[in-house]
Amino acid sequence: DIQMTQSPSTLSASVGDRVTITCRASQSLRTWLAWFQQIPGKAPKLLIYKTSTLGSGVPSRFSGSGSGTEFTLTISSLQPDDFATYYCLQYNSIWTFGQGTKVEFK
């Protein structure tokens, strides 16, 4: 099974900050990596798939990069709606989620 490790687990930031979340895989995913945003009490929302392709309607301040075993999600300028928990998902071999990164107010 492929294991996914996200870091950090929690991130404190302010509106306007540039934020980066990392996801590491236990084996190569090539580019089969997606990112989700989850607001408390709501279903996850697809942000990015295939490492860097934005999902439908996702703002351009979100971007993804990486390949192989290390991937990053970057929010270029954090907005109030972006305080949420973010999950990576590998789909190279069945599916495995990371443990999540909570972005909270500093």
Partner 1 sequence: QITLKESGPTLVKPTQTLTLTCTFSGFSLTSDEVGVGWIRQPPGKALEWLVVIYWNDDKRYSPSLRSRLTVTKDTSKNQVVLTMTNVDPVDTATYYCAHSSRAGYDALTGHRYVFDIWGQGTMVTVSS
Separation CA 75–CA 70 (nearest Å):
17
**Residues 13, 73, 4, 103: what is their CA dihedral angle, to the nearest 10 degrees?**
20
Among 21, 25, 34, 78, binds partner 1 (CB under 8 A): 34
Burial of 87 (0-12, 13-18, 19+ CB in 10 A): buried
AA letter at 97:
F
Counting contacts by CB under 8 A, is residue 105 touching partner 1? no
Among 28, 74, 95, 104, binds partner 1 (CB under 8 A): 95
Give the x/- contact pattern for partner 1 in 43-72, rule: CB under 8 A.
Answer: xxxx--xx--x-xx----------------
Binding site for partner 1 (CB under 8 A): 1, 30-32, 34, 36, 38, 42-46, 49-50, 53, 55-56, 87, 89, 91-92, 94-100
